[in-house]
Amino acid sequence: MKSSMEIREISQEQLAGWMKEGKEFQLIDVREEREHLQHNIGGDLIPLSELNRLSHKIQAGKPVVLYCRKGIRSRIAIQRLHSKFPDTEFYNLTSGLMGFRI
């Protein structure tokens, strides 16, 4: 039995491929609104600070990719969401926005 959950990572190249292919998934930015307005790659805004209140916006049943600036807050968000949505595939954008270039 595992002592901790494994967090799936998705690279910038894989995510760009999913976008190009039109793969069905939900993209979520977990940064604060002011950060999101400065720069984002689309998707829904569900700040980590409001995750519990806004978790009803998670589209269970399809893969969910979470991102932030460096990939740290999105990892925390995945850990929190996993218990509420155990059958949902969550992915963390490796290196966050700092590593994302299309």
> For the chain, what is the radius of gyration of the CA atoms?
13
Kindly report, residue by residue over 6-43, the tens digit of the pLDDT: 899 999 999 999 999 999 999 999 999 999 999 999 99
Question: What is the third-level CATH fold of 8-99?
Answer: Oxidized Rhodanese; domain 1 (3.40.250)
For the entire predicted model, the pTM comes to 0.91
> Which has the higher per-residue pLDDT, 83 or 102?
83
Residue 2 has a pLDDT of: 43
